[in-house]
Amino acid sequence: MFQERNLIFWLHDALGTLKTVISSRQLPYYMIPERNLMEECGLQEEQQHKWVADITDMIGEGPKVILRLPKMRQAIICHPDPMPWILERRKGLIGQRMLEHEWMNRADVQMRTRSIRLGLISSETQAHN
């Protein structure tokens, strides 16, 4: 279900779907799935590669991609309090990345600790033999 807080998710999902459709040149018609709507679109190979590259860049931009869309940019600017909205979204994404980074650090520390323990165990085993 679409909600304000998951706008970025749905935009990212839509861009991914669009990239797949353009790359594969397959877009089934929802009423008649066997019918390919991309079949007679006249999409040139060069244009296809450019669009796929552009969409890949947009996906790579993350949340900033919204500012590329003129109507979205205008809506954000015209909103009574655009900065709190933008800052709230940014803070949420930064927090999410910090949690991911912290989780990776913890996993790394755990791996190093296990490695040290295994080294101690093997050296103790060798000392007793």
DSSP state, residue 33: T
> Which structural domain, as residue segments, surrounds residue 119?
4-128
77 HSE (CA, 13 A, CB side): 9
pLDDT for res 49:
93
pLDDT tens by residue, the chain, 129 residues: 667 677 778 888 888 999 999 999 888 888 888 888 888 788 888 999 999 999 998 888 887 777 777 887 777 677 666 556 666 666 666 666 666 666 666 666 666 776 777 676 666 666 665
For residue 75 the two structure tokens come to 């809506």
Query: What pTM was estimated for this model as a whole?
Result: 0.52
Number of domains in the chain: 1
Residues ≥6 apart with Cβ < 8 Å to 35: 28, 29
